[in-house]
Structure formats: C-alpha cells, structure tokens
Amino acid sequence: MADQFESIIDCIETKYNCIVIYFTTDSDGGSKKGCQLLEKQRPWLLAPSCWAHQFQLVLRVYIFAAQIVESATDLIGWLNNHGKVRKMFDASQAQISLNQTGQSVVLAYLTANLTQWTTHCVAFIRLLRVQDALKLEVMQHRSGLIKAQDAEMHCDLIADYNFREGLEHVVGDIEPICYRTNINQKDST
C-alpha cells in the first residue's frame, strides 16, 4: 500500500508541479499500515485517517453517547412516522415561535443518514432546537399523546432532563468531528 500511495503522490506532484504534504485514507489494516510506512519514508507528509471512518468507532467506545444517539434517532423516527403526534408537536412549535417572534415557524424533524456522520450532528442540533416545544406539548397534553400513538416511552424521554443534557454533550462531542470530516473530504485538503 505504501508503494501504491507513493506512486499516487509522485504522479500528482509531477502532473500538477506541487508537493503533496497531506494524504488521507480510511483506517483499515492495509491503508493504515501503508500510511504509517509512507510517513516514515516521507517525514514531511501528514497522513491522518479519515475522520468519517472514525466517527462510528467513537460512539461505540463511549457507551453513554451511543445510548443517547440511539434514543435520539428513535425519537426522531417516531416523530416522523406518527402523523397525529407530529401535528401535535408542530402546533406547539408554531405557538412558541409565534409568542417569541410574532411568526409561526414549524421546523422539520431531520433524520440522520447512517453513512453521513454530519447528518447526525445536524439532526441532533435540530432536535435540541425543538426540544422546548416537545417538552411543552408533553407537559400539556401527555395523555392525548399517549392515547394518539402509545407514546409513553417517548414522552418520558422528552421530559427526561438527563436525555437533553446527554444530547447536548453528544452534539458538543461530534460537532468538531463533523467539521474535521468535511475538511478532510475536500479536494483542497
């Protein structure tokens, strides 16, 4: 792999009359070992593993974060898949925004894409942004929500301060990873 990487770099340097100083690959066994050897042969070269491939590993190691992510993803799916409940939460969002800004605004509940890690961050930031409306609706109409869609577990999750606190920590942890992911995936890197 190191020989192939060197060949790629030599070709690019010749074709574009430049010096490659940054080379990113995934971190599977062959690529990782190849990058380690490449860095020894070309000490001026930076060769980090791609952050996009590291994100899921971070969550697997941090069990609390993995549980929060699983709960948040389940909650978003539940909101998107139950029209009656979603309409109730949307009405709460509209009322809160009308009271705060004079305009009725209803934000969508974004879904994360399993292989695009930045979507997790964006979906969880959105969930935090609508959390007050969700909490208000649970406090005011819990029995109606439960009757509409057998929602006791999800209502408990929305009302759980530890879930919200945990989600804020998860977002704080993954947001920098998402920025690094996007930076490492650009041609200009």
Give the single-character DSSP code of 50. Answer: P
- My answer on whether 22 and 73 are in the same domain is no
Residue range of the domain that includes 123: 54-185
* Helix spans in 62-151 (H): 63-81, 83-101, 117-129, 131-149
- My answer on whether 166 and 90 are in the same domain is yes
- My answer on whether 136 and 63 are in the same domain is yes
Q: How large is the C-alpha radius of gyration of the chain?
A: 22
Spatial separation of the C-alpha atoms in residues 80 and 95, rounded to whole Å: 20
Q: Could you tell me which residues come within 8 angstroms of residue 51 by beta carbon, excluding any fewer than 6 positions away?
A: 177, 180, 181, 184
What pLDDT was estimated at residue 55? 53
- My answer on whether 35 and 118 are in the same domain is no
pLDDT digits (tens, 9 = 90+) for 112-142: 876 677 888 899 999 999 999 999 999 999 9
- My answer on whether 41 and 85 are in the same domain is no
What is the band of 50 on the pLDDT scale with cuts at 50, 70, 90? Answer: low
- My answer on whether 91 and 26 are in the same domain is no
What pLDDT was estimated at residue 54? 54
Tell me how many domains the chain contains: 2
Percent of the chain with pLDDT over 70: 87
- My answer on whether 81 and 23 are in the same domain is no
Does the pLDDT of residue 165 top 80, yes or no?
yes
- My answer on whether 100 and 133 are in the same domain is yes
What is the band of 31 on the pLDDT scale with cuts at 50, 70, 90? Answer: confident
